[in-house]
Chains A and B, each alone.
Chain A
Amino acid sequence: MANENQTQYSLDEAVDFVIIGSGSAGGIIAKELSTNGFKVVVLEQGPFRAAKDFTHDDVSVFLFEELQGGGNTNNQQTFRDDASKVAEAPQRTPAFYAQTVGGSSVHFTGNFWRLRELDFNERSLLGPISGTNFADWPISYAELEPYYTRVDWEIGISGEPGPNESFRSRPFPMPPMPIKSSGVLMERGAKKLGLNAQVEPLAILSQPLNGRPACINCGYCMGFGCEVNAKSSTLAAMIPDALASGNCEIRAECAVFRIETNDQGRADEVMYYDPDGNERSQKTKAVILSANGAETPRLLLNSASERHPDGLANSSGFVGRNLMFNSHSDVRGVFEHPLNDFKGVQVSRMVHDFYETDPARGFYGGGGIDARPFMAAYPLLFSLAGARPEGPTWGADYKQNLEHDFSRTMFLFTGGTSLALDSNNVTIDPTYKDHDDDMALAYFLQDRAFEIMQAAGATHAWRNPIQYQSQGAHLLGTCRMGDDAASSVVDKFHRSHDISNLFICDGSSMVTSGRGQPTMTIMALAFRASEHIMAAARNNEI
């Protein structure tokens, strides 16, 4: 799949839509609009890789951040945890996302939790939280459910219903991936504690779908692209149809730096650097911004003009605010016998018994716990970072521990809520410090995970230290949707309140963070947004 056989549009002739970003949202919207007859140009800053380009090369993928633009030496993002500090460029890229056609859906792990009803109206259920921008969504789970179902069937999700999830209008399209030893151990531990270990829904095919093959259980999901297209990225599931429509041109290695508006206040031109570094601009009738929760607000702020001195679509001042990473913690354990958890997908079982906020805990939030090999899927990563906390880091004993532990290690990984705060934001780069409740939740879930690990029979178990996060792969909330134009950036149909032909759909649209796995929701929002955008276009309402 390369550029040469694609439809090619003239820069000067306005296309129906320019979509900025080809990831979880942009890839879906490109497919939906183009297969329905609209002329679409997609601008993607990363290269156009195909399945054959994806390897198991952990040196390139982990050490050199091959899929994320080559690391922060190239990206030069800065980070600070407080606006009073000078932002500095750390070694690791703070807003961590893939730069490639398909975006982060290419390198994600594939855990695909739906949100539950309570995620959409938790503010009404719990009341306000002082000092935060905690709010209800302008839509309900019931409104989004048909689009979750489209993700299940059109993107390709394997799984089976569990005891702790919201209603679904259709069953999963295919059975779950095989249970792993980590899943068995989690079930064992959970059962002893009276908890429910349920199947992890995955954006990974257990059976062929739409010409794509089933997973071969190679184990290289987390951080890697899938070499057989069994991982349900938009690259595998959506982009081929978009290109086949003849209406979609994907311009890879084209980094957008500005959206221009005309005298009528409409977005009519998108400025970008082409692969050779030349400035280009594409005329368009409308713009859809799906660049992720960090790049979307950055681009809006960088598109400030006399007419829009605070950045595009920012009359509310909410562009870039409320960045949410999801809170995280983990526990690791070593078992008597080999789990060989490096084989197969990362996660086969999860516990969602702590999903809801319980006021008795004294803090807001909830989340899930899943069982996975994490770094024990990759020998190099494990050798660099997987030594026992109390053990040596080189020499014969270190080596003996590695030989023993690699195949016998399980991680319990927690994902939970983050609260929306003014002080956590993207101006040009991220400023972020977890809220006290987010930290309390991370410790709470880690303690529950530790109990499960012990109940599962680990011979050794450790809590990994919890630190304030300085890097996020979940980039949420920075252009939230809402009915009130004074406190949100887009309406419930993803149209910006300020500019009628500018739509924004990606992680930035989310009002709350969910419990740790946002991509399923971003994809459902993209299917829903596409439907409304197309209806508006057909009615000349853009």
Chain B
Amino acid sequence: MNREALTRRLFLQGSGTLAGSMMLRAGIPAFIAASQAACSANEELAAFDILSKAEAREIVAIAARIFPTTDSPGATEAGAVYFFDKALGSIFADMLEPARGMLAGFQAGVTPVYPGASMFSDLDESDQDDYLRSVEKTPFFQNARLMTLIGVFGMSMYGGNRDDIGWKLVGMDGPPHAWASPFGYYDAEYLAAQEQQNGE
């Protein structure tokens, strides 16, 4: 593997790891980030360790409906699928085979309802939402939701929440997580009023 390919592979697999974070802080990554943005979806999907291309495509589609891209980033931009890939080879390794079985069952239900479509990711977004609503009580959906949300909001070392997208989305700036008062609107208002009172 040449150096460029190695670097790219390290980035794709480990941008959330300590090594990845250190690279980001060191400033190297403007270049790598630009390269990454230029990657085609297929090239990215080739970089998974556990998931096949087809599995990854399905998970990207499912996660994108659970936590969609709207006028703000969603599961796709957070790289939630990379959490699935990493977790199913590590912290959730014991879920890999059951998850594959459940995914197969999930996919098998698509064609009877939508003839002509063999995969969930073939459906348009409206049909995807309808189909997910029909299975939202199933263990597969519940697990997919759990993993999508960890992929958006868990620490980036697990593979998702790229660039702390999930945290920024809800108003939390990224690490180092050390703050000073005032923290929010109401305590700022309160302290300002106190200060004014003390000054008078």
Q: Does A340 contact B (CB under 8 A)?
A: yes
Chain A residue contacts of B110, Cβ below 8 A: none
Q: Does A403 contact B (CB under 8 A)?
A: yes
B190 touches A399 (CB 8 A): no
Chain A residue contacts of B179, Cβ below 8 A: 216-219, 343-344
A396 touches B68 (CB 8 A): yes
Q: Which of B65, B68, B155, B171 contacts A340 (CB 8 A)?
A: B171
B132 touches A338 (CB 8 A): no
A384 touches B149 (CB 8 A): yes
Q: Which of B132, B158, B184 contacts A59 (CB 8 A)?
A: B158
State which size class the interface on A falls in.
35 or more
* Stretch from B34-42, B44-52, B112-120, B162-170 at the A interface: B162-170
If A56-B177, A380-B154, A399-B68 touch, whether A179 touches B132 (CB-CB below 8 Å) is no
Q: Which of A59, A220, A337, A384 contacts B185 (CB 8 A)?
A: A337
Q: Which of A220, A337, A383, A394 contacts B153 (CB 8 A)?
A: A383
If A179-B187, A181-B183, A394-B145 touch, whether A56 touches B178 (CB-CB below 8 Å) is no
A379 touches B183 (CB 8 A): no
Chain B residue contacts of A341, Cβ below 8 A: 183-184
B184 touches A181 (CB 8 A): yes
Chain A residue contacts of B81, Cβ below 8 A: none
Q: Does A184 contact B (CB under 8 A)?
A: yes
Report the separation of the CA atoms of residues A399 and B145 in the bound assembly, to the nearest whole angstrom.
12
A394 touches B136 (CB 8 A): yes
Chain B residue contacts of A234, Cβ below 8 A: none
If A340-B171, A343-B183 touch, whether A58 touches B155 (CB-CB below 8 Å) is yes
B187 touches A178 (CB 8 A): yes
Q: Does A402 contact B (CB under 8 A)?
A: yes
Report the separation of the CA atoms of residues A340 and B172 in the bound assembly, to the nearest whole angstrom.
8
Residue of A nearest to B175 (CB): A56
Chain A residue contacts of B65, Cβ below 8 A: 394-395
Q: Does B67 contact A (CB under 8 A)?
A: yes
Q: Does A183 contact B (CB under 8 A)?
A: yes
Q: Does A339 contact B (CB under 8 A)?
A: yes
Q: Does A167 contact B (CB under 8 A)?
A: no
Q: Does B129 contact A (CB under 8 A)?
A: yes
Q: In chain A between 328 and 386, which residues have their CB closer than 8 angstroms to a CB of chain B?
A: 335, 337-344, 379-380, 382-384
Q: Does A264 contact B (CB under 8 A)?
A: no
B149 touches A185 (CB 8 A): no
Q: Which of B66, B72, B186 contacts A339 (CB 8 A)?
A: B186
Q: Does A497 contact B (CB under 8 A)?
A: no
Q: In chain B between 33 and 87, which residues have their CB closer than 8 angstroms to a CB of chain A?
A: 65-68, 70, 72, 74
A64 touches B145 (CB 8 A): no
Q: Does B181 contact A (CB under 8 A)?
A: yes
Residue of A nearest to B170 (CB): A406
Q: Does B150 contact A (CB under 8 A)?
A: yes
Q: Does B180 contact A (CB under 8 A)?
A: yes
Report the separation of the CA atoms of residues A64 and B150 in the bound assembly, to the nearest whole angstrom.
13
If A57-B155, A184-B187 touch, whether A344 touches B181 (CB-CB below 8 Å) is yes
Chain A residue contacts of B66, Cβ below 8 A: 394-395
Report the separation of the CA atoms of residues A390 and B45 in the bound assembly, to the nearest whole angstrom.
37
How far, in Å, is A174 (CB) from chain B's closest CB?
A: 15
Q: Does B91 contact A (CB under 8 A)?
A: yes
Q: Does B146 contact A (CB under 8 A)?
A: yes
Q: Which of A337, A343, A379 contacts B167 (CB 8 A)?
A: A379
**Contact digits for A392-412, partner B, Cβ 8 Å, 1 yes 0 no:** 011110111011001100000
Report the separation of the CA atoms of residues A382 and B154 in the bound assembly, to the nearest whole angstrom.
11
B129 touches A395 (CB 8 A): yes
B177 touches A219 (CB 8 A): yes
**Contact digits for B133-174, partner A, Cβ 8 Å, 1 yes 0 no:** 000100000000110011011110110000000110111100
Residue of A nearest to B144 (CB): A394
Chain A residue contacts of B178, Cβ below 8 A: 216-218
Chain B residue contacts of A343, Cβ below 8 A: 179, 183-184
Report the separation of the CA atoms of residues A315 and B148 in the bound assembly, to the nearest whole angstrom.
55
Residue of A nearest to B158 (CB): A59
B149 touches A383 (CB 8 A): yes
If A181-B184, A181-B186 touch, whether A407 touches B150 (CB-CB below 8 Å) is no
Chain A residue contacts of B185, Cβ below 8 A: 181, 337-340
B186 touches A380 (CB 8 A): no
Report the separation of the CA atoms of residues A384 and B151 in the bound assembly, to the nearest whole angstrom.
12
B149 touches A406 (CB 8 A): no
Q: Does A528 contact B (CB under 8 A)?
A: no
B183 touches A180 (CB 8 A): yes
Residue of B nearest to A219 (CB): B177
A379 touches B172 (CB 8 A): yes
**Contact digits for A212-256, partner B, Cβ 8 Å, 1 yes 0 no:** 000011111000000000000000000000000000000000000
Chain B residue contacts of A338, Cβ below 8 A: 171, 184-185
How far, in Å, is B174 (CB) from chain A's closest CB?
A: 11
How far, in Å, is B142 (CB) from chain A's closest CB?
A: 10
How far, in Å, is B76 (CB) from chain A's closest CB?
A: 12
Report the separation of the CA atoms of residues A342 and B175 in the bound assembly, to the nearest whole angstrom.
13
Report the separation of the CA atoms of residues A382 and B150 in the bound assembly, to the nearest whole angstrom.
11
If A340-B171, A343-B179 touch, whether A383 touches B186 (CB-CB below 8 Å) is no
Chain A residue contacts of B74, Cβ below 8 A: 399
Chain A residue contacts of B172, Cβ below 8 A: 342, 379, 406-407
Report the separation of the CA atoms of residues A480 and B175 in the bound assembly, to the nearest whole angstrom.
45
B171 touches A407 (CB 8 A): yes
Residue of B nearest to A59 (CB): B154
How far, in Å, is B144 (CB) from chain A's closest CB?
A: 9
Can you list 25 A-B pairs with a CB-CB distance of less than 8 A? A56-B175, A58-B154, A58-B155, A59-B158, A178-B182, A181-B183, A216-B178, A217-B180, A218-B177, A340-B184, A343-B183, A344-B179, A344-B183, A379-B166, A379-B170, A380-B150, A382-B170, A383-B149, A394-B145, A395-B65, A395-B68, A399-B74, A402-B170, A407-B171, A407-B184
5 interchain residue pairs of minimum CB distance: A337-B185, A178-B181, A181-B184, A406-B170, A181-B186
Apart from A179-B187, A181-B184, A396-B70, what are 11 other A-B pairs with CB-CB below 8 Å? A179-B181, A184-B186, A217-B179, A340-B183, A343-B179, A379-B167, A379-B170, A394-B145, A399-B67, A399-B72, A406-B172
